[in-house]
Amino acid sequence: MRAIWKGSISFGLVNIPIALYPATRKEDLKFRLLRAADHSPVNYKRVAAADGKEVPWDQIVKGYEYEKGKFVVLNEKDFQRVDLEATQTVDIQDFVDIDEIDPMFFYKPYYLEPQKGGDKAYVLLRDALAAGKKVGIAKVVIKTRQYLAGVKAMKHALVLELMHFAQELSDAEKLNVPKKLEPGKREMDMAKALVESMSAKWDPEKYHDDYREALLEVIEEKVESGGQELEDKPKAKKESTKVIDLVAVLQQSLAKSQSAKKKPAAKSAKRATKQHKKAA
């Protein structure tokens, strides 16, 4: 795995050389656009809005629209005029209790790996964050953009998680959501019982991208059939979503949840068999 950024973490007078690695990966299936007649791949062209002519890469520049239809062009030197030190430093400005931060602020994690000479300070920061249940709130420039970020301890590693600035989050107060509606005691008791019956320990391996797996099966079937149209499979009839008696619906859900808890082994075995067949 290649580092996407190298620099250092700084807090106080401490400086830790680190490398930044993606902590997530996309599992989307990639599709190409084709011409229907002969399946020839369709390519994109860069064309100018003024005359529709194609523009080669060496004639493309970056511009900022400061007024409608008016642009100022920025070159590489302009981007380099921004504080160069900041582009190579995860500058921790505050340490904040992790429970104080709304999870909505976090959105993209990266692993931090210590570089030569940084092991001791890396461990010191990691263990101090874990012991105090703190997050280091930092600013970092990656490529041409500055980000707010949180430095967290996660098991043996430090994680840098990009964050939204406050002005990037929409105000939930503007949503038309019920605020003063009080549910009845019976409904609330049933809802709590349902939540309790569906409670489980966090196991990330338990959850799968069902759509991706089903789509892969369709692709495999089409490949095996030589690209022929597949027969439609009967779809399960959806239950009515019209709620008449909320307590009755909660009771049905509770019974269904309790029944489902008795059959996890069968589902796991079925999935394992399917994956074994694919591997074979």
Which whole number is the average pLDDT over 91-99? 94
| Domain 5-25+81-168 class, CATH top level | mainly beta
Close Cβ partners of 97 (under 8 Å, ≥ 6 residues apart): 133, 134, 135
Note the pLDDT tens digit of each residue in 7-27. Answer: 888 888 888 999 988 888 877
CB-side exposure of 232: number of CA atoms within 13 Å?
A: 3
pTM > 0.95: yes or no = no
CA pair distance 215, 213, nearest whole angstrom: 5
Which whole number is the average pLDDT over 262-267? 58
pLDDT, position 114: 94
Whether the per-residue pLDDT at 276 is higher than 90: the answer is: no
Note the pLDDT tens digit of each residue in 183-194. Answer: 888 888 888 888
216 φ, ψ (degrees, to nearest 5) = -60, -40
Helix (H) or strand (E) holding 20, with range, is strand 14-22
pLDDT, position 159: 96
pLDDT, position 120: 93
